[in-house]
Chains A and B, each alone.
Chain A
């Protein structure tokens, strides 16, 4: 599915040939030292990424809350990277707020959101939780999906055909969709 803008979001972050997060590509392995070429160790998104996301966020109308679940003991390093990424995204629009929760300590909230893995992100609208979750750090193609989900939650206008919308209105049972993806 082509992106509307000129900049391909799929090239974001993961496109930087292994410089971003070798730990992600190796699963839950121990951290490996970065081999240089990384100006700001605390920053995940490049200035170009930020500019592209800012442009995309011009579409935002309603507020969006990103609820992050972390757990230091399970996957501390991945969770910290995830928190950093979510904060960097939220900085790009005043319509986005962030709440960081702990899977072990904030059990009631986790149960309410149905979250049982970390790192996790809940993309919640101002008035409703639409059930959008991300497990794992959303990089590459998933990053573009995260941005897209923020936009659609904010606007409340899904880009679906009339046929799909009317079929969804008649659903008589709950639908749980899991999408397995990878960074590239």
Chain B
């Protein structure tokens, strides 16, 4: 997911970890990975599949503003 790593370069606040799901089955299970790509932001906001930049940004902003865990 290129948006994540580009955001990491754009902001010191953002870090991007790309995880090869089949090599890390335990991690994938812990994050309930059913399909890929799956994005998990701050362990709270998550979505599957490629999304437009606007929606990706929306998820990032939601992850830092929404106090409710999901």
Contact = CB atoms under 8 A, between A and B. Distances in A.
Interface of A: 1, 24-25, 27-28, 75, 78, 114, 117, 123, 125, 128, 130-139, 142, 145, 148-149, 152-153, 156, 158-161, 163-165, 167-169, 171-183
A175 B18 contact: no
A128 B8 CA distance: 11
Given A27-B25, A28-B23, A135-B24, A158 B7 contact: yes
B5 A132 contact: yes
Interface residues of B, number: 45
Among B11, B24, B64, which residue has the most Cβ atoms of chain A within 10 A?
A: B11
A27 B23 contact: yes
A125 B64 CA distance: 26
Among A128, A134, A138, A160, which residue has the most Cβ atoms of chain B within 10 A?
A: A160
A114 B17 CA distance: 10
A182 B33 CA distance: 11
A179 B24 contact: no
B9 A181 contact: no
Contact of A180 (B15, B33, B50): B33
Contact of A182 (B3, B10, B36, B53): B36
Given A179-B39, A180-B33, A1 B50 contact: yes
B22 A183 contact: yes
Contacts of A152: 5-6, 9
Interface of B: 1-25, 27-28, 31, 33, 36-43, 50, 53-54, 57, 60-61, 63-64
A14 to B, nearest CB: 11
Contacts of A183: 20, 22
B9 A158 contact: yes
23 contacts: A24-B22, A25-B22, A131-B15, A133-B17, A135-B17, A135-B18, A149-B16, A158-B9, A160-B3, A160-B6, A168-B10, A168-B57, A171-B64, A174-B14, A175-B63, A177-B8, A177-B15, A179-B16, A180-B28, A180-B33, A180-B39, A182-B21, A182-B36
